[in-house]
Structure 1
Amino acid sequence: MAEGRIVKALSGFYYVENEDGIFQCRGRGNFRKRKITPLVGDRVAFEAANKTDGYVLDVYERENQLVRPPIANVEQAVLVFSTQEPDFSPLLLDKFLVHVEANEIEPVICLSKIDLLNEQKEEAMNEAEALYQSLGYTVISTSIFVDETIKMLRPYLSGRVSVFAGQSGVGKSSLLNALKPELNLATNQISKSLGRGKHTTRHVELIPVDGGYVADTPGFSSLDFEGMDVEGLTYCFPEMRKRMNDCKFRGCTHINEPKCAVKEAVEAGTVAKGRYNHYLQFAEEIKNQKRRY
């Protein structure tokens, strides 16, 4: 019995890679009964008579798992957000950060299309970059037309399994083409009327890049907070996480409680009000989600 990693799932087949190459496999017959769905990134046991006729026999325990995109055992999430076309969205970035923090995946914020910035927008983006760096996040500003910015991204990919994630049209596939031109991934222009891109990636696939793997994933513009409570949400905001023990009440939600260290920090300007407002919005979404269930 051989072992490997699923690098692509397409049309009912799982493509498993190990030192002997890539094997096209089907899932074991009893997987559905056992409620097992293999994911790209899974480490698996399989058997194959040849490169095109194999079966995945077992899925090993996962370190983590994302629902959207459906992928497992990710070490790092490169969150690609364009500065223009579509416009930079701090709200959506914070939602993505919560999503990856909740799954204990290390985020790298990649700001794309910096070549499109005018002077006024550049100043605003510099402020945003400084804010996220002050929270301990790695922020890289890139343009596919500036080789030096692409070089800055490469060391973060080496030897790691990374997922490129972000809404449609931000330039994920274009960045991957710049990192590895022979990929020739499909890209598309932004819809001027909708202000967002078309989906150019149709499936999740692990691509070898710079000694690591990168998952180019279908674009999406919304995330839910399935399985999360408000207390867990606090842990996904670094600036709140480090102040939570200074609140008067244990389990403080930083919303209505008195003598809340987080609310005091917001008033003092040491916690960004915009980030706090996003926290309140996410907390409300979580409450509404629980009511629906």
Structure 2
Amino acid sequence: MAKKKKNRNQKSKWTHHYRMVVLNDDTFEERFSLKLTRLNVFVVTVISAILLIGLTTALIAFTPIREYIPGYADVSMRRDNIELAKRTDSLEIAIRSNDQFYGRIKMLLNGDITTEEYERIDSIAKVETSTEIPDLTPIKEDSLLREEVAQADRYSVIAGAKAKTNFVFFPPVKGTISSNYDTEIKHYAVDVVTTVGTPIKAAADGTVVFASWSSETGYTMLIEHPYGLITVYKHAGNLLKEQNDQVLAGEVIATVGNTGELTTGPHLHFEIWSDGYPLDPTNFINFE
């Protein structure tokens, strides 16, 4: 019986009422009073602690005040670091691409190709010149159509699956070919003989990626065209376009000359490259 009374008294401690009174120290006049219980005080304390923690968390997460807490970086600084990291990656990719591009330009200027590239080019040439082709002699009725189609295809370049239309080259000069395209002697061009001062025209629309002097090839110009095509013009008398200039097909870009150590007379040394592989210009252009 005594234990039950004791338990009842212990439970009643949480609901036992207390009064908090605020008095005037001089007159002992009651200014404020508040009736409390232990349960009320506990509940109010817990709720206040939760609200305080939530408010502090919100201030740190959603306001700039977190910048004053050790270990947190400035928001703008973090944003700038991310942007700089993106730009750095983009610049690295651009630098690698430019290095490959300028390496290819150097190869074109020097007329030099690595053994691996030459073997790949030679294998392609063997496939193209293979004589193991079945006899497909056209019948008399369609000979005219075949000739017309062959003439149209002769001066068109289909530059891979990405090309949506036929790419047609414009003759850079008219003249006599003194040296033909020959992979065996690494002459990946045609030499077109003509008079000094004859205008050299752009073979197609594009951007000038190189226009300068070379001791071996004289005044030289490289033009980049769509679909990975590049045309090269060597031994010019002078250049009328500069690097990064935009040119149109048939636009005069230089004049015929006799410059450079490797020249044998006034002529244009003309090359066509597709994705790093040389092409025979006479397959696409009529120089006569």
Both structures adopt the same fold (TM-score exceeding 0.5) = no
| TM value normalised by structure 2 | 0.23
> Whose radius of gyration is greater, 1 or 2?
2
| TM value normalised by structure 1 | 0.22
More helix by share: 2
